[in-house]
Amino acid sequence: QKQKFQITTFSHGLDNLLGGKGVPLGQITEFCGVPGVGKTQLGIQLSVNVQIPRRMSGTEGEAVYIDTEGSFIAQRVVEMANGTIIKINESITDENELPLDIETVLSKIHYFRTHDYIELLALLKTMDQFLKEHSMVKLIVIDSIAFPFRQDFSDMTLRTRLLNMIAQDLKNMAETFEIAVVLLNQMTTKFGNPGSGSDKATLVPALGDSFNNKCPNQIILYWRDDMRFAHLIKSANLQEKTIQYQITTNGISD
């Protein structure tokens, strides 16, 4: 049987929530949450951690980071990368092996900035070719998928059609190239049907049911008081569960 690779988040709780070792390759995983909850932090952490060497059970890959909001902060990447680099370098036992440095880690995160949905669609259309030329890429992060479709969309039918197309393209990419696709998504308020007895307002992942149905793994990130939680709301084979995690200067942890 083919070995299933996963990308660690550095939180055992979160890795367990995702099936043991982190975000799975070959599939789409969606993290949703309100602004400021830490989605970008997780996206950056995964972009660094995808580079962990194979001898440490890592995927030794590269990342594509698609920034639709302008929230990628290079200084934060350096801080998180330093945390990971220390762990990797401490584990070197072979004297011929070179320690990992920050320039190398940064050079393996391919950063793209898109400013509207047209740029995002155009970029995704060229992504197949990019992945063929960069076979070490094992992760694509889109931060966030919702933003370009919330700003300037009045035609909801077109929006649904484009989102379905994107979800299908990403699913194909994940499977063809055996990479993890991580979608960071916002939350939106949904109202139950008046008179149905469930007319309460609830927070649900943005972009609607038809898009969400194409994402096999869905996790909601939220906070209560000073504590951060991740809640698995959807998975093909894992149980619904909630865990606690932290964000520190060095990145994500238990």
**Interface ranges with ligand GTP (CB under 6 A):** 33, 35-41, 69, 71, 76, 247-249
Q: Which residues pair with 230 in a beta bridge?
A: 221, 243
Yes or no: say if 117 and 125 are a contact pair by the CB < 8 Å rule.
no
* For ligand GTP, the closer CB: 129 or 249: 249
* Closest separation in Å from C-beta 184 to ligand GTP: 6
Cα→Cα distances 49→60, 108, 229, Å: 9, 11, 21
* Closest separation in Å from C-beta 206 to ligand GTP: 11
* For ligand GTP, the closer CB: 5 or 220: 220
User: Letter for the amino acid at 173?
Assistant: M
Strands 137-143 and 180-185: parallel
Residues 207, 131: Cα–Cα separation, whole Å: 26
* For ligand GTP, the closer CB: 5 or 66: 66
* For ligand GTP, the closer CB: 189 or 249: 249
* Closest separation in Å from C-beta 43 to ligand GTP: 7
Q: How is residue 18 written in tokens?
A: 């995702």
* Closest separation in Å from C-beta 81 to ligand GTP: 13
